[in-house]
Structure 1
Amino acid sequence: MFNPDMPPTLMQVKVNKNAETVLRKRYYRKDGDGNPTENATTMFWRVAAAIAMEETKYEKSTIGVEKLAREFFDLMTEFKFLPNSPTLMNAGTGLGQLAACFVLPVGDSMEEIFDAVKNAAMIHKSGGGTGFSFSRLRPHAARVGSTGGVASGPISFLRIFNTATEQVKQGGTRRGANMGILRVDHPDIIDFIRAKERDGDLNNFNLSVALTEKFMQAVEKDEEYDLVAPHTREVKKRLPAREVFNLLVQKAWESGDPGIIFLDRINRDNPTPDQGEIESTNPCGEQPLLPYEACNLGSINLALMYAKGQDHDVDWKELRRVTHLAVRFLDNVIDASRYPLELITETVHKNRKIGLGVMGFADLLFRLGVPYDSQEALTLAERIMKFINEESKAASKQLAKERGAFPAWKTSVYGQRNLGPYRNATTTTIAPTGTLSIIAGCSSGVEPLFALSFSRHVMDGEKLTESNPYFEQAMKDAGAWSETLMDEVARTGRVGQIEHLPEALRRVFVTAMEIAPQWHLKMQAAFQRHTDNAVSKTVNLPGTATQQDIFDIYWMAYETGCKGVTVYRDGCKAAQVLCTGDGTQAREAKAGGDGKVVRSRPDVIYGFTQKIETGLGIMYLTVNEVDGKPFEVFATIGKSGRSITAKAEAIGRLVSLALRSGIAVREIVGQLKGIGGEHPVFRKKGMIMSIPDAIAWVFEQRYMGGATPVPRAGNGNDLASPKCPECGKELFFQEGCFICAECGYTKCG
């Protein structure tokens, strides 16, 4: 009799230092004092045994539980495959919630809205993320028949969901992540597109606009399109489609938000259309789901599918074996998971969707000597994903013979087209693997490397340099390795600028910011062609990219069959920090050499002037704006020639420089607010302590709604480099989310 609590003699699992840090902080079970009660070996056995035990439910199973547990254990501890984080954290524990993300419906009544808030809180408590469509809600100022009042609209309820999320700690480790989606034909769409203009707003949400084919055709023809009230189906007004599309482009250029998804394309691939339309995705956008569905994800490490001398140096036989075993693993996870709501349990078991994806693709290309931005890489990507998709379907068919098809199979597209039976309605998804790739020691998802090497600062001022192992080995094989070289690469993160290195090496070892945006998009499209669901991928653009560049990327995503796209222009978010060198931002500087791009001043600029009483006299603060955001300030107090006038001018110049360099208002207010002076004065809304405090007050009232900025960790003096909120190390933006390579923190949950 198999006893999952009594593991056989197991080889001790070795993990690297980063992986051990992540596992200890987030994955190991702990005692009442927060001390780990397991290590990597016992954790992976806990998971393997718990998932293998589900095999006992099926009389026709072709493999014994103990043998299967050992195979699952080997699969994970060899880092050839890892399931999503909740499975690693919770399998074999009392919590038992193993799914990564869920989609909840938001109906057009107060009861339905707050049911969704409550259900989201339960999901976040259990360790999952949530996606919502707010497209069913009637627009702002629409009449509410039951009360005779007017509706507050989707944006106001978005804020309620965001606030509720702030109060619930996700799985005891991090706050919940959400996706908020609104159809492009909703009457409140302009407000939605602008919803995150103010820094810090809706900080627990990723936002995406759901674009329809009708809208995209109107953009192409430069025509108007209808805005339709969802509760009455009445056309409320018409807007020029291209102007709306251009506004989306502008906001993506400014901050990366909101993203876009192609809703009709997603629903064309809906395997169970009889159950309704897909209207939302999970927080990172790669998993479209029906209401009350969950995503059950895992990733194959392609770096370990390399086998020199075989077909394209890829071990296709091993990739087939791993794919089949991973599909069985993920199908067992569906049965092992205890979902937070009964409706979710019913829907998940009805469709049994799984999402098998990949990580380590950039590492595989390094081992093959193939540049990421090459036709050879695109061809290989498409071939690999086609192979995994086909083999995962074959594995699902085999499981259907042993266990039966998914219950909704007959009415699904598989049943209607005589394509089955299959055990799972979908089998492939390419999800973010930020934390999993740290554990596996490989590159993340299908992304290129963000940096080949970087420095970590540890205790007592010691600096440790870490490098991609395949890059370091290639340097040694070429006789090019030296400590001087590695220090240079750690400083910049890349080798493209090191002219004495062989061109072939510089061509292969390219990083995210060296790759033209079109190649990022082409790679996403290559993987999408053979992926049931969608692909998590960020199209990185340099800080100098124009809005036309983003327009072109969005249009290319539409034309090449992507289901959505996330763009990120370097430096567009105040919270961005690259994980390279000594923490300075690797961007072309126009002034100062500090890596900040200082925007040029337009010839004509408009603003406002506010009169403020200070302890040193009346100050007139002029704030000029570009695109509704502060661009420069002029502080005038007293007559020219006085010392206080010079100080006010100096403060204004420095604040202007910060604004033009992309520093967020919240950061500036955080630095100036509360600075004391010798003559404070009282106002109705508080005390003005000094000239800098007065400037902070104006900014706070106009741009932050009077909100007090959140204090920064550490000494609070670093305007340019906000850090990971958990370990204080630097964050980088990848797979649509900010990620910490040190502790595994991810803002997307």
Structure 2
Amino acid sequence: MTSDSINSPRLPALPAQSISHDVLMEKYVQRDEHCIDDIHQRVARALAQAERPGHREIWASRFLQALQDGFVPAGRIQSAAGTTLAATLINCFVQPVGDSITGNDEGYPGIYVALAEAAETMRRGGGVGYDFSRIRPHGAWVAGTRSSASGPVPFMRVFDCSCRTVESAGARRGAQMGVLRCDHPDIEDFIAAKDHGELTNFNLSVGLTDAFMQAVCDDRHIELVHRAEPGPRIRTDAQHQRGDGLWVYGVQPARALWERIMQSAYAHSEPGALFLDRINTDNNLSYCETIAATNPCGEQPLPPYGCCCLGSIDLTRFVKNPFEPSARFDEEGFSRLAGLAVRMLDNVLDITAWPLERQRQEALDKRRIGLGFTGLGDALVMLNLRYDAHEGRDAARRIAQALRDAAYAVSCELARERGAFPRFDADLYLSRNTFSSRLPEAQKARIRADGVRNSHLLSIAPTGTISLAFSDNVSNGIEPAYAWRFARRKRLPDGGTEEYIVEDHALRLYRQRMGAEAPLGPAFVSALEMSALAHVKMVAAVAPYIDAGISKTVNVPADCAYEDFKDLYMQAWQLGLKGLTTYRPNASTGAVLEARSRPSCSGCAAPVPSA
């Protein structure tokens, strides 16, 4: 299954960049390891332990080849598989949060029980996403007391403090996602939660419904609702109980709230947008779960206690004759590797440590995995295709389709060998306008005959650190290259930072093959040299082939006008996406990356602005 190297046999391998070496040594190597191949051997042996005795050495050899050929498991797997660390191999989870303080709220753990569960999850190395919408709004009546509720945002501060305090296994900083529905009475407090530098250990996203989005389009009002009864101190004539049991706390013009969301996203890059109805309609398991939140980076919409078992394939490894007129993508080699990667991620679910028993039960009932890719931007450059052009999007679409077809085919083979996931029901799984209902007919027939091992198989995650450490800084996930040469600040263990000059992998390979003075062609277009809409259109091209989600950040320059920014989330909803985030450097967000002088580039725009 080995693919030919993309490097000419006459040229030496690219020397490691200093930041790639330092990140590898700091985050991934274990005792007595010194290089990537040492990590590969440890990970391959660990994942092979899920295979039958007597076959493990064979599978360990195949898994090692897969890692050498460009499969890049997520950071938790790279750092902890095959070690004695008390760490999970799962990057992220979603944890439920109820409305009571310590008891159960219709099966949801009380707030401080949820806090303890999240702390244990982060201590074991997992990031956590939460939907805080069940917490009653500020001022609502608390039955059996003389007090009124604090609302979600004050409790989020407690979770933020806990995340900052807990040291995770493997020295990983805690990561959290906080979600609140757009119709929660405290939604404006949530949107403003980061206005003064708070909640630094959270990403924030608003859970947007189709009803709300349509109300924005139609310039109508929306009701702000919750199931908790308003207290006497805040009761108004507008408040009443609806037929569905929810209490109406007030009404608001949808466009006014929408404007508040977009102004906040423009000012400090949050909140992001999650389109809840699209997420749940598309969900293969909508017959047995409802999703209200995602993992911290947004690529995995998950039910309570759900997890994301992630890995990515480096697309640049499958570009033949890069930068030449004869450049092509090796779809056959890519599909073979994708199939083996599915088996490896399925094995992760059986060998990992689980922070909580509920997480283990949820994972083994549904066996979600998230195979994706990294290096899309660089691969398109190597194929002489612009990321922001129709031809580039069409190539990405074909790659995503090949990934889908290979992944589902192997998951069916695994179901025949190991059994389908326990919650599998063929009739329900293949109906109701879900992602799986739109699979090719031959694939659906196979699923009916053999079952499928994994309820979900595909997710495109951000891969900044693993792409930097294991793939010579290829462009991150689905993103285009941020810049061809830039300064990157890396956080040090003592809390300080160190600045590195980093070059993009495609540029380094181009210079090696074409010479230091060769002008760059028009395919060398970076994130800030294309329109924001071009970023959104790339997600729309790939999304129909990805069953879970895609983490995509639309990078916009600091001097982008608000008028050119304010419609991005609306465009994403109209294109059928599940979510989107933006990043515009400013005084409050700062900048981890700063573009430096751009190499000469024929046929491209002006130099990249500093970020």
- Scaled by the length of structure 1, the TM-score of the pair is 0.68
* C-alpha distance 255-241 of structure 1, shift in aligned 2 (>3 A): same
> What letter is aligned with 1:51?
L
Could you give the per-residue CA deviations for residues 658-694 of structure 1, whole angstroms, max 9, x where no partner exists? xxxxxxxxxxxxxxxxxxxxxxxxxxxxxxxxxxxxx
Q: CA deviation at 1:506?
A: 4.3
CA distance in structure 1 between the aligned counterparts of 2:36 and 2:511, rounded to whole angstroms: 32
Match for residue 259 of structure 1 among 272, 278, 282: 272
Paired residue secondary structure (1:423): coil
1:366–1:471 contact (8 Å) kept in structure 2: no
* C-alpha distance 509-13 of structure 1, shift in aligned 2 (>3 A): closer
Partner of residue 53, structure 1: 49
2:224–2:248 contact (8 Å) kept in structure 1: yes
Paired residue secondary structure (2:362): helix
1:254–1:572 contact (8 Å) kept in structure 2: no
Q: CA deviation at 1:148?
A: 3.2
Could you give the per-residue CA deviations for residues 417-452 of structure 1, whole angstroms, max 9, x where no partner exists? 775411001000000100110122222111111121
CA distance in structure 2 between the aligned counterparts of 1:216 and 1:528, rounded to whole angstroms: 20
Could you give the per-residue CA deviations for residues 177-199 of structure 1, whole angstroms, max 9, x where no partner exists? 10000000101111111111112
Partner of residue 454, structure 2: 424
Paired residue secondary structure (2:207): strand
Q: CA deviation at 1:544?
A: 2.4
> What letter is aligned with 2:471?
A
Could you give the per-residue CA deviations for residues 435-482 of structure 1, whole angstroms, max 9, x where no partner exists? 110122222111111121246899xxxx99654353355457666x34
1:307–1:315 contact (8 Å) kept in structure 2: yes
CA distance in structure 1 between the aligned counterparts of 2:73 and 2:14, rounded to whole angstroms: 17
CA distance in structure 2 between the aligned counterparts of 1:543 and 1:17, rounded to whole angstroms: 29
Partner of residue 124, structure 2: 126
* C-alpha distance 554-415 of structure 1, shift in aligned 2 (>3 A): closer
Partner of residue 490, structure 1: none
The total of aligned residue pairs comes to: 538
Could you give the per-residue CA deviations for residues 514-566 of structure 1, whole angstroms, max 9, x where no partner exists? 11111111111112121111111111112222333222211110111111111
Partner of residue 202, structure 2: 205
1:99 aligns with 2:84: no
1:77 aligns with 2:90: no
Paired residue secondary structure (2:522): helix
Paired residue secondary structure (1:110): coil
Q: Within 5 Å, give how 1:406-485 maps onto structure 2.
A: 406-410=421-425, 413-414=428-429, 419-420=447-448, 421-438=451-468, 439-441=470-472, 442-454=474-486, 467-474=503-510, 481-482=516-517
1:256–1:566 contact (8 Å) kept in structure 2: yes
Q: Within 5 Å, give how 1:152-171 maps onto structure 2.
A: 152-171=150-169
Q: Within 5 Å, give how 1:476-515 maps onto structure 2.
A: 481-482=516-517, 501=519, 505-515=520-530
Partner of residue 238, structure 1: 251
* C-alpha distance 476-161 of structure 1, shift in aligned 2 (>3 A): closer
2:71–2:341 contact (8 Å) kept in structure 1: yes
CA distance in structure 1 between the aligned counterparts of 2:541 and 2:486, rounded to whole angstroms: 30
Which structure: larger Rg?
1
CA distance in structure 2 between the aligned counterparts of 1:577 and 1:87, rounded to whole angstroms: 25
* C-alpha distance 41-571 of structure 1, shift in aligned 2 (>3 A): same
Q: Within 5 Å, give how 1:185-204 maps onto structure 2.
A: 185-199=183-197, 201-204=198-201
Match for residue 359 of structure 1 among 374, 399, 403: 374
Q: CA deviation at 1:378?
A: 0.5
Could you give the per-residue CA deviations for residues 628-653 of structure 1, whole angstroms, max 9, x where no partner exists? xxxxxxxxxxxxxxxxxxxxxxxxxx
2:19–2:500 contact (8 Å) kept in structure 1: no
1:52–1:68 contact (8 Å) kept in structure 2: yes
> What letter is aligned with 2:311?
G
Could you give the per-residue CA deviations for residues 134-180 of structure 1, whole angstroms, max 9, x where no partner exists? 01111111111132321111011101100111110122413311000
Q: CA deviation at 1:580?
A: 2.9
Match for residue 284 of structure 1 among 285, 297, 301: 297
2:377–2:387 contact (8 Å) kept in structure 1: yes
Partner of residue 296, structure 1: 309
1:575 aligns with 2:572: no
> What letter is aligned with 1:191?
D
Q: Within 5 Å, give how 1:605-616 maps onto structure 2.
A: none
Q: Within 5 Å, give how 1:106-117 maps onto structure 2.
A: 106-111=97-102, 112-117=110-115
Paired residue secondary structure (1:362): helix
Paired residue secondary structure (1:89): helix
* C-alpha distance 543-412 of structure 1, shift in aligned 2 (>3 A): farther
Partner of residue 690, structure 1: none
2:396–2:542 contact (8 Å) kept in structure 1: yes
Q: CA deviation at 1:411?
A: 7.4
Identity of aligned residues (%): 38
CA distance in structure 2 between the aligned counterparts of 1:318 and 1:146, rounded to whole angstroms: 65
Q: CA deviation at 1:581?
A: 2.9
1:180–1:208 contact (8 Å) kept in structure 2: yes
CA distance in structure 1 between the aligned counterparts of 2:513 and 2:172, rounded to whole angstroms: 42
Q: CA deviation at 1:42?
A: 2.8
Paired residue secondary structure (1:93): coil
Q: CA deviation at 1:579?
A: 3.1
- Over aligned residue pairs, what C-alpha RMSD do you find? 2.7
Q: Within 5 Å, give how 1:721-740 maps onto structure 2.
A: none
> What letter is aligned with 1:176?
G
Q: Which runs of 5+ in 2 are unaligned?
A: 1-12, 103-109, 230-245, 432-436, 438-443, 491-498, 599-608
Q: CA deviation at 1:50?
A: 1.0
2:42–2:81 contact (8 Å) kept in structure 1: yes
1:135–1:230 contact (8 Å) kept in structure 2: no
Partner of residue 548, structure 1: 563
1:229–1:235 contact (8 Å) kept in structure 2: yes
* C-alpha distance 412-342 of structure 1, shift in aligned 2 (>3 A): farther
